[in-house]
């Protein structure tokens, strides 16, 4: 874990290792076995109310959510407190962090806070999706509120929605990552597009080396507002960046291309024909493309990957499709309504 931690929904909590009651180190990532995880961070175990703790345990069990406790106690002191709480040595797993190595960040107030800064609440429940990303946090009356809310929250981030899908074709190596942009943020970007300046055949200068008339017709707005540029970059860096390392073994330093909101309407017969995103000398350092749908009240407009069985990809609003810039892709026609999508590229720093 770095010494900065952001706990906004969608952010990935980095891995860390701490000793359990037997003194052996345990890695956080090993608590992830396909279910959501509830991490109870607590400065002092003896301050926990046994009834509330039992309620939280029961609620986690009911919600098929793995409970994990990180406490600020020394191992020796933690053992009797743990027994008093009615917990078994490994059930749930307890990790001890008496020096506050990670606990101070897990309990810190607000967004990104460095280790060692003032402690926030003394107890916090952080609910994570099965992919180690924050689903939500409970700060006030943390145990009771989490016991009440965990069922719905865990259900909303379960990652088994494709269980009925049996794919017999090739699968395009595209990562679809949910909850990269919050619904409000999607709305803000669509509004920004609405205020912006875009012709009915806006063509981004990014593609100046190809016959644009045949390749692309969309209505584009390139984001120029510095605050919005940063708001987009931060979300992509925190939420997609760690996935690139995990999924594609990409650990280079990166920067972004311009962030552009593209819009395709059925009426305007807008389209984007098959292309690759790194074909020109000026785009050769593009590593990964991001296509992030900002709405979902349209039909058609799927991403298509002709090299991989023509698989069509249509992520829900706020979810990012991320793929290597070397992949051939196109966008199928929007047959109803209007599709708004944020596109950008991770470029590798030289």
Token pair for 60: 């986690």
Among all chains, which residue has been given the structure tokens 């692309």?
216
Q: Does 244 help bind ligand AKG (rule: CB under 6 A)? A: no
DSSP 3-state assignment of 348? strand
Task: Report the C-alpha gap between 226 and 66 in whole angstroms.
Answer: 40
Write the burial class of residue 325 (CB in 10 Å: 0-12 exposed, 13-18 middle, 19+ buried).
Answer: buried
Residue 277 binds ligand AKG, judged by CB under 6 A: yes
Residue positions counted in the chain? 350
For the CB of residue 83, give the shortest distance to ligand AKG in the complex, in Å. Answer: 55
String marking each residue 247-266 x if it binds ligand AKG according to CB under 6 A: ---------------x----
Contact status: 303 vs ligand AKG (CB under 6 A): yes
Between 32 and 323, CB nearer to ligand AKG: 323
x/- mask, ligand AKG, residues 27-66, rule CB under 6 A, reads ----------------------------------------
CB of 156 to ligand AKG, least distance (A): 25
Minimum CB distance to ligand AKG smaller for 52 or for 233: 233
d(CA 310, CA 4): 41
> Of residues 5, 172, 240, 331, which one binds ligand AKG by CB under 6 A?
331
Site for Fe ion in 267-286 (CB under 5 A): 277
CA end-to-end distance (rounded Å), the chain: 25
Q: Which is nearer to ligand AKG, 119 or 175 (CB)?
A: 175
From candidates 315, 343, 346, 347, binder to ligand AKG by CB under 6 A: 343
Asked whether position 278 contacts ligand AKG by CB under 6 A, the answer is: no
Q: Considering the rule CB under 6 A, would residue 123 count as an interface residue with ligand AKG?
A: no
Q: Which is nearer to Fe ion, 93 or 289 (CB)?
A: 289
Give yes or no for residue 291 binding ligand AKG (CB under 6 A).
yes
- Binding residues with Fe ion: total (CB under 5 A): 1
Residues 6 or more apart whose CB falls under 8 angstroms from that of 314 comprise 293, 301, 302, 303
Report the SS3 class of residue 180: coil
Say if residues 65 and 37 touch (Cβ distance below 8 Å): yes
291 binds, among Fe ion, ligand AKG, none (CB under 5 to 8 A by kind): ligand AKG
The span from the CA of 115 to the CA of 112, in Å, is 10
What is the spatial distance between Cα 123 and Cα 88, in angstroms, rounded to a whole number? Answer: 21
Helices and strands in the chain: count of H runs, count of E runs:
8, 23
Classify 189 in phi/psi space as left (phi over 0), alpha (psi -120 to 50) or beta. Answer: alpha
Q: Which residues bind Fe ion (CB under 5 A)?
A: 277
Q: Which residues bind ligand AKG (CB under 6 A)?
A: 262, 272, 277, 289, 291, 303, 329, 331, 341, 343
């Amino acid at each position: 874990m770095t010494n900065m931690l952001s706990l906004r929904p969608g952010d990935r909590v980095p891995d860390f290792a701490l000793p359990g009651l037997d003194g052996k180190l345990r890695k956080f990532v090993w608590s992830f076995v396909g279910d959501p995880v509830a991490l109870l961070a607590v400065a002092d175990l003896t301050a926990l109310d046994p009834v509330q703790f039992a309620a939280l345990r029961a609620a986690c069990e009911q919600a098929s959510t793995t409970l994990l406790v990180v406490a600020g106690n020394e191992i020796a002191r933690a053992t009797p407190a743990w027994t008093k709480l009615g917990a078994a040595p490994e059930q749930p797993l307890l990790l001890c962090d008496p020096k506050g190595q990670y606990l101070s960040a897990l309990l810190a107030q607000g967004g990104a806070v460095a280790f060692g800064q003032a402690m926030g609440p003394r107890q916090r429940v952080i609910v994570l999706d099965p992919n180690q990303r924050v689903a939500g946090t409970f700060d006030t009356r943390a145990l009771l509120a989490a016991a009440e809310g965990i069922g719905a929250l865990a259900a909303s981030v379960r990652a088994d929605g494709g269980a009925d899908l049996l794919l017999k074709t090739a699968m395009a190596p595209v990562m679809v990552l949910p909850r990269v942009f919050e619904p409000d943020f999607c709305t803000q970007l669509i509004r920004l597009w609405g205020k912006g300046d875009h012709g009915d055949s806006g063509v981004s200068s990014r593609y100046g080396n190809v016959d644009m008339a045949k390749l692309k017709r969309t209505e584009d707005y390139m984001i120029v507002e510095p605050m919005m540029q940063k708001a987009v970059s931060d979300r992509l860096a925190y939420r997609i960046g760690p996935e690139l390392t995990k999924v594609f073994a990409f650990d280079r330093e990166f920067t972004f291309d311009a962030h552009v909101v593209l819009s395709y309407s059925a009426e305007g017969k807008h389209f984007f024909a098959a292309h690759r995103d790194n074909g020109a000398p000026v785009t050769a350092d593009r590593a990964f493309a991001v296509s992030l749908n900002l709405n979902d009240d349209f039909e058609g407009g799927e991403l298509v990957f002709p090299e991989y069985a023509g698989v069509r990809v249509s992520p829900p609003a706020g979810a990012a499709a991320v793929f290597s810039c070397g992949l051939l892709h196109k966008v199928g026609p929007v047959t109803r309504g209007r599709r708004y999508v944020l596109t950008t590229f991770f470029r590798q720093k030289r």
